[in-house]
Amino acid sequence: MHRRICFTIVLTFICFTLYSCGNSNEVWVAGWEKAAVMNTARAGGAVVVHNNAIYMIGGVDGKNFLSSIESAVIQKDGSLSQWKVISELPEQRGFMSALVYENRIYVVGGANGKYGKNLLNTVVSAEVFDNGEIGSWREEAQKLMLPRRCSKLIKNGDQLFALGGFGGNLLDSVEMSYFTKDGGLTPWQLNNTKLTMPRYVNSVSRIGDKAFVLGGHHPRKGGGLSDVEYANLKDSPLKWHKINAMNSGRYAFSSFSYQNNLYAVGGISGSEYLKSIERARINSNNVEINWQKSINLPLSMANFTTIVVKEWVYLLGGSSRHNYLSAVWRSNFNKHGDLGYWGSKGEQKALQISNTEKSDKENLINKGTVIKNINTEGYTYLLVEEKSKQIWLAAPKMDVQNNTRIRYSEGVYMSNFFSKSLNKKFDSIVFVGTVRVSK
């Protein structure tokens, strides 16, 4: 009997170590696995978690701003139940932030209307019941001092901070309010200190008592910022300090934290959608960070949302260059902070083959002939023709002659773009990251 008990204990330990007692062939797959798909494709929404359920709120589907809210329950193995539409905001709203305080969801700022031009300074909240349902929404009496599209929220005890965003121009200001006992808010007040720079379509994450503000849209050059700053939430007023920048400039991206690790995920560089992820480990004493490359996203994408629940991170919706997404992916953290999941050896091999086959040449799927080129301080503008169709490209500064055949990567399409350096308006232009002369 004693031998049998010992054998059972050893076997249980081995199974716990492998994360699988039924399948010893499971291996660590450095990638993302698909979860249950949302009912609606949406980018620029807000996501919160409460009582083991994920709530996806508002956003835009590529044509219209959304008021719908859908929810999925997180299962014991990290998978998601089927998504269900459970509530509607009082009005359509996207590019806002949301969080939960006690048993209420608060949605702050954002925008709606054509091209998101209607900027919002309102705050709406609703109670979340034990069964996962959401009660009636109410508009809080206390509005933001400034309308803020793409502002980010940080909660610290009963304090609520709204950081940066767009309110007619790019903002570096921080507003603060307090939650009241009845679930309301005190009047918003401007914090005495500002961010080190304007932040718009940036990202914010928290580790311990420190709030980190990452990246955003460059106010002059139009690309992504790589700058990172932080503040200790115990300080009053908040004091912002610059630290080591990310390796890539990013806007319309996401970030999240796990233990002492900070992750910057996807977004737009200014010239192309990104699929890269970089990670930094935070030194709690003097906040030194060193950014390193992590695994890639399933595809190049932006304007998605991420949420961390226990040892899982979920990536929801967003947009690629071609369409808006209803897909949801999940990834796990191992003890080293690496992203991936426990899967089969076949899944691991298939992912390795897929990554190996993605050469630079294969990614340069577009081609054409240069018929005009203009060099500026920041970009080379190329008018390219292919099959009697012409398109303007904005590429990293390069030397290329007219009548040259080129291949170029997928990029970011912009309409009615005005170049200050050229004093010229482009009806349409594509910002690309890579251009190669065809041989």
| Residue 363: predicted pLDDT | 65
Whether the Cβ atoms of residue 228 and residue 210 lie closer than 8 Å to each other = no
pLDDT digits (tens, 9 = 90+) for 60-75: 998 999 999 999 999 9
> Are residues 262 and 277 in contact, defined by beta-carbon separation less than 8 angstroms?
no
- The pLDDT of residue 361 is 43
| Predicted local confidence at residue 119, as pLDDT | 97
- Quote the pLDDT of residue 353: 61
Angle (CA) 40-417-406 rounded to 5° is 90
Higher per-residue pLDDT: 416 or 389? 389
Whether residue 8 is predicted with pLDDT greater than 80 in this model: the reply is no
Distance, CA of 118 to CA of 111 (rounded, Å): 5
* Inter-residue contact 396 to 429 (CB < 8 Å): no
Cα gap 225→292, rounded to integer Å: 17
Sketch out the chain's domains with CATH numbers: 28-357 (2.120.10.80), 364-437 (2.40.50.140)
Please check the confidence at residue 204 and state whether its pLDDT lies above 50.
Answer: yes
What's residue 221's pLDDT? 73
Which pLDDT does position 417 carry in this prediction? Answer: 82
Question: In this model, does residue 16 exceed pLDDT 80?
Answer: no
- Which pLDDT value is given to residue 366? 87
Task: Write out the two tokens for 7.
Answer: 């054998």
Among residues of the chain, what percentage have pLDDT more than 90?
Answer: 70
By C-alpha distance, which of 280, 231, 224 is closest to 251?
224
Q: Per mean pLDDT, which range of 3-12, 76-85, 184-193, 344-353 is the poorest?
A: 3-12
Q: Which amino acid is at 405?
A: R
pLDDT above 70: percentage of residues in the chain = 91
pLDDT tops 80 at residue 6 = no
Give the three-class secondary structure for 395: strand
pLDDT of res. 356: 55
- Give the pLDDT confidence score for residue 360 in this predicted structure: 42
Give the lowest-confidence range in 194-198, 254-258, 283-287. 283-287
Confidence of residue 355 (pLDDT cuts 50, 70, 90): low
Write the burial class of residue 17 (CB in 10 Å: 0-12 exposed, 13-18 middle, 19+ buried): exposed
Predicted confidence at residue 93, as pLDDT, reads 97
At 359, the pLDDT band (50, 70, 90 cuts) reads very low
pLDDT digits (tens, 9 = 90+) for 281-339: 988 666 778 899 999 999 999 999 999 999 999 999 999 878 899 999 999 999 889 99
Range with lowest mean pLDDT among 200-204, 211-215, 296-300, 415-419: 415-419
- Summarize the confidence of residues 157-171 as an average pLDDT: 96
Can you say how many angstroms the Cα of residue 77 is from the centroid of all Cα atoms in its chain?
24
> In whole angstroms, what is the distance from residue 344 CA to residue 7 CA?
27
- Could you read off the pLDDT of 35-89 as tens digits, one per residue? 999 999 999 999 999 999 999 999 999 899 999 999 999 999 999 999 999 999 9
Of residues 346 and 76, more confidently modeled: 76
Least confident of 111-125, 277-291, 340-354: 340-354
When pLDDT is cut at 50, 70 and 90, the band that residue 10 belongs to is very low
The whole-number pLDDT of residue 418 equals 84
What is the reported pLDDT for 25?
Answer: 65
